[in-house]
Copies of this chain bind each other. A is one copy, B any other.
Amino acid sequence: MQTKYVLDEADVPRQWYNIAADLPSPPLPPLHPGTGEPIGPEMLAPLFPMELIKQEVSQERWVDIPDPVRDAYMLWRPSPLYRALRLEKALDTPAKIFYKYEGVSPTGSHKPNTAVAQAYYNKAEGITRLTTETGAGQWGSALSFACNLFGLECKVYMVRISFEQKPYRRSMMTTWGANVIPSPSDQTEAGRTVLASTPETPGSLGIAISEAVEEAASRDDTKYSLGSVLNHVLLHQTVIGLETEKQMALADAEPDVVIGCFGGGSNFAGLAFPYLRQKFDGKDIRVVAVEPLACPTLTKGKYAYDFGDTIGMTPLLPMHTLGHQFVPAAIHSGGLRYHGAAPLASQLVNDGWIEAEAYTQVDCFDAATLFAREEGIIPAPESSHAVKSAVAHALAAKEEGAEKTILFNLSGHGHFDMSAYDAYFAGSLTDYQLSRADVDGNLSSIAAFPDVPA
């Protein structure tokens, strides 16, 4: 039996799939926090190049991938689709388990799919520098890699505690020529303000975003780049699902369940949106987003208007949220510690097209270790949530005696997260679970925000 389904470079998609064209209900606009009115492109123009702003609001079903972006994709795409034959056997399940593996990119995750596109469009519009924030470093690595390919300077504000505790992601960014500085820094007004009041702060993603946005907004040669949540980011990630559709055809299989882990929503959307298109057309597919019980945005949050960042600098986005001031517990899945969710995904959850599940990190590391021992690849802590869900669905299929076909996105490897595995094996991981009362307490802070229309 076949283990891998590989494609030729000719099969790398030539267009991204824009789900906005096929949404069963029209997408909701972001709102200006002061006026409560829908925002126009001019509010985004200081931060993003015009082509990305156009993609953000585009209703075209297919968006051409520029040749230089596609050439950059060739450095690692098409990524492989695997059949997890050994895992199936270990679980003694009648289910077939397939996974798309995005860890083959130079940075080890799906993030470069959008990073190279964003770097390209900025370069094309004469921008010479990009700023961004990074927590554990996955997104910062991807943008560093992409900026280097297109000859852009890259400045990464890295949350100070990660800067100190995860030096190897920082080394990776340095290898690709990026300028990585710990946040808060003395280089921005936002950073200086925080440092003045709390000089020993470990930093946070919210502060790092403020610093990166402030620098981009104040310099004509510089724009800002975001690694998830926004429509254009999700658009770029659809290469994952478009390739997978071809590979599943090679395997002569069609998924009954499509699974992705969910933080901001980008790797999930990358695999799921092309399959949601099939589901809109009537195909019987369950589409499952998997999040941590420590940050249960989709399963326990509110579908409401809220800020995208912690400090409140962005427009109000219509999304599932735990409240923009919510600070998730220090789980090892840094990429899933986000209070909000991509608006496009939120709407589809709200309308019943996407299901959501949540697990503790210990359950996810259990599944990830089983996976590593059967399939070889050591999953990133984020991706372990998708692994856990796939295992759960495979065991349910066994219970039912159903020959289900399960497909999930293994969004990255864990080579830079081995300290998390150490903690797991040492038995020192905490099973954080956010209670209903805690969620409601946080949500009270956005009670006065505009309602999402029914």
Contacts and interface: CB of A to CB of B under 8 A. Distances in A.
Nearest to A174: B425
B419 A375 contact: no
Contacts of A76: 376
A377 B141 CA distance: 12
A442 interface: no
What is the size category of the interface that chain A forms with chain B? 35 or more
Contacts of A372: 106, 175-176
Interface stretch (A3-11, A283-291, A330-338): A3-11
Interface in A89-119: 104-106, 108
Interface stretch (A128-136, A164-172, A190-198, A200-208): A164-172
B106 A377 contact: yes
Contact of A3 (B3, B75, B418): B75
B108 A175 contact: no
B3 A172 contact: no
A148 B6 contact: no
A108 B103 CA distance: 12
Contacts of A35: none
A418 B376 contact: no
A351 to B, nearest CB: 39
A287 B71 CA distance: 31
Interface in A421-446: 421-422, 425
A378 interface: yes
Nearest to A171: B418
A113 B180 CA distance: 37
A171 B106 contact: no
Contacts of A416: 415
B378 A172 contact: yes
A172 B376 contact: no
A376 B75 contact: yes
Contacts of A418: 167-168, 171-172, 175
A104 B415 CA distance: 13
Given A2-B9, A4-B9, A172-B378, A373 B75 contact: no
A29 interface: no
Interface string A350-389: 0000000000000000000100110111100000000000
Interface of A: 2-4, 6-9, 71, 74-76, 86, 104-106, 108, 145, 148-149, 167-168, 171-172, 174-177, 369, 372-373, 375-378, 415-416, 418-419, 421-422, 425
Given A2-B74, A171-B421, A177-B373, 16 more contacts: A3-B71, A4-B9, A105-B376, A106-B372, A106-B375, A106-B378, A167-B418, A167-B419, A168-B419, A171-B418, A174-B422, A175-B372, A175-B425, A176-B372, A176-B373, A415-B416
8 contacts: A2-B9, A75-B86, A75-B376, A149-B376, A168-B418, A168-B419, A172-B418, A415-B416
